[in-house]
Structure 1
Amino acid sequence: MCGNCERPIAACLCHIIPIPPMTTTTTKLMIIHHPHESHHKLNTARLLTKSLRHVTTHLSRKLLPSHVTNQSPSPSPTTTIYLFPPSPGSPAVSLSELKESINLQGDNRNLLLIVFDATWKHAKEMVKASEGVLEGLGAIRVCLDVDESLKGGSIYDDELVLRKEPYKGCVSTLEAVARCLRVVEDEGEEIERVLIGVLREMVRLQAGFLKPVKPRSKLLKKSKQNELQ
């Protein structure tokens, strides 16, 4: 294992991870890392912690008040946002509307971005369990464009062949953060480009170890087999 990127030597990403890590001038990133997701070999939150400064990670099933109060000593964020799709009773601001909804000018350039890193099922549970703390922070829910009527991978589905998302438009934690930073950071386009480059390289290396899957013929139930006979 590589001691720096914590990946197998054959799939080491040190050649693509930015050194030193990139600095965000506006945003502090907080990752609430579900215990189950922390064991997944293709988890992308680790790549964020290696690629960006101002990132804190908490292994937890929900956001706790202590996670916010224990932030590193610095000016308190004037605005808190969290990434998650809208739901009945919980509308969300789209990325395209985000800059119009928050003021990041002058002295108000401190933003706390919270992401829940988990499977979609667990992430929904985590957000629901965190609602009290999020409301106390006045956190704004921010969403990407997700169409639950379509099945498919992420917006990078031509390359991300390793972890299938439940709906067309769903993305990994790293992708979601990269797209958000593109909007809120002065150098957002460059930050997004570098982060997506790291992710694409991880996918390229991992894909080299995939074994071809032979299509399996669909098996019929015995009752259907009898009908055909």
Structure 2
Amino acid sequence: MEEEAQLPNFEFDNSSGNDDEYNSNQKEKRETCLKGCGRPANVCLCNQLPTKPLLTSTQILILQHPHELRHRLATVPILTKCLQNSHTLTGRRLRHGSSPLLDSLFAASLQDPHPSNRAIFLFPGSESSPSIELNQWKLLNSTELSIKDLVLIVFDGTWKHAKEMVSASLPFLSKFACRVCLNYDVGVDGGTIFDSELVLRKEPFSGCLSTMEAVARSLRVLEPRGVEIEQSLISVLRAMVRFQAFYLKPVKPRPKLLRKGKDEETMKKKSSEVLG
């Protein structure tokens, strides 16, 4: 893929007093694309979407937190228009009755104490519920893995919401799905992947991805045409970021962080003077 200049980090103006007026004005002024992407006409992505939704052997199921439905930069609506075998559920947890597909996997696990690895869910592990890196998982299951039957489950929400969703879903998911993760580093403050060129929201540590990025990287590992699929998805995401960058405000440094930085700089100067 062609290298692009890095984009700045952005945040929304969430001043509550003007939200209703802003939303009302936006509805009056903006025309919405009805034939393809469903986005406002001035940031339409129809020309960037694949001519036909990409066909994958892997089935992708996304649990989207209700709060994400009103997020202006949510990537899931675009992701599902790019992938043919993707489905979205809105809620805070997965349980029996959430999805016929997952219910069938759960039922199979009750009959077979050692079910085949047909389902994985993507989220970094914890001490009580460890995860395995996706490349390792694929190597360990390469002999028995039938890629056409694989189900990839992802969680769409803020980091806090996603952790809550995974925790609430574990009693159900742990019966039939393996917990996997992508490479990440909890010791480094995060932005995003691809040399931070797609930064939109501050993440808790390096390697945290948007849902679209996470699915793209996962399919790169899981699909025979994974590299091609990843490139197609990321090119759409890049276009989305470029369009949206014109309508977002750059992040302003927080006063407390500025004061902290100045205090640390002052302490360093004093220390150097003492040592000198």
User: What TM-score, normalized by structure 1, do the two folds share?
Assistant: 0.85
Following superposition, the deviation at residue 65 of structure 1 comes to: 1.9
Following superposition, the deviation at residue 103 of structure 1 comes to: 3.7
Task: Output the CA distance in 2 between the equivalents of 1:210 and 1:85.
Answer: 30
Task: Output the CA distance in 1 between the equivalents of 2:122 and 2:55.
Answer: 20
The aligned counterpart of 1:100 is 139
- AA aligned to 1:113 is L
Instruction: State whether residues 188 and 205 of structure 2, in contact with CA within 8 Å, keep that contact through their aligned partners in structure 1.
Output: yes
Query: 1:192 pairs with 230, 239, 245, which one?
Result: 230
Query: 1:20 pairs with 52, 66, 83, which one?
Result: 52
Following superposition, the deviation at residue 99 of structure 1 comes to: 1.4
Following superposition, the deviation at residue 111 of structure 1 comes to: 0.3
Query: 1:64 pairs with 81, 86, 95, which one?
Result: 95
The unaligned stretches of length 5 or more in structure 2 are: 1-31, 109-115, 264-276
Q: Does 1:151 align with 2:189?
A: yes
SS in 1 for 2:125: coil
Following superposition, the deviation at residue 46 of structure 1 comes to: 1.0
* Structure with the higher helix share, 1 or 2: 2
The aligned counterpart of 2:203 is 165
Q: How many residues align?
A: 217
The aligned counterpart of 2:72 is 41
Instruction: State whether residues 79 and 102 of structure 1, in contact with CA within 8 Å, keep that contact through their aligned partners in structure 2.
Output: no
Alignment CA distance shift 1:9-1:81 (3 Å): same
Partner deviation per Cα, 1:206-227 (whole Å, 9 max, x = no partner): 112234566676686xxx9xxx
The alignment yields a C-alpha RMSD, in angstroms, of 2.6
What is the identity percentage for the equivalent residue pairs of Structure 1 and Structure 2? 50
Task: Output the CA distance in 2 between the equivalents of 1:70 and 1:80.
Answer: 10
Instruction: State whether residues 117 and 178 of structure 2, in contact with CA within 8 Å, keep that contact through their aligned partners in structure 1.
Output: no
Instruction: State whether residues 147 and 222 of structure 2, in contact with CA within 8 Å, keep that contact through their aligned partners in structure 1.
Output: no
Following superposition, the deviation at residue 60 of structure 1 comes to: 0.8
Task: Output the CA distance in 1 between the equivalents of 2:33 and 2:236.
Answer: 16
Task: Output the CA distance in 2 between the equivalents of 1:68 and 1:102.
Answer: 25
Which protein has the larger Cα radius of gyration, Structure 1 or Structure 2? 2
- AA aligned to 1:6 is G
Task: Output the CA distance in 2 between the equivalents of 1:216 and 1:130.
Answer: 36
Instruction: State whether residues 64 and 133 of structure 1, in contact with CA within 8 Å, keep that contact through their aligned partners in structure 2.
Output: yes
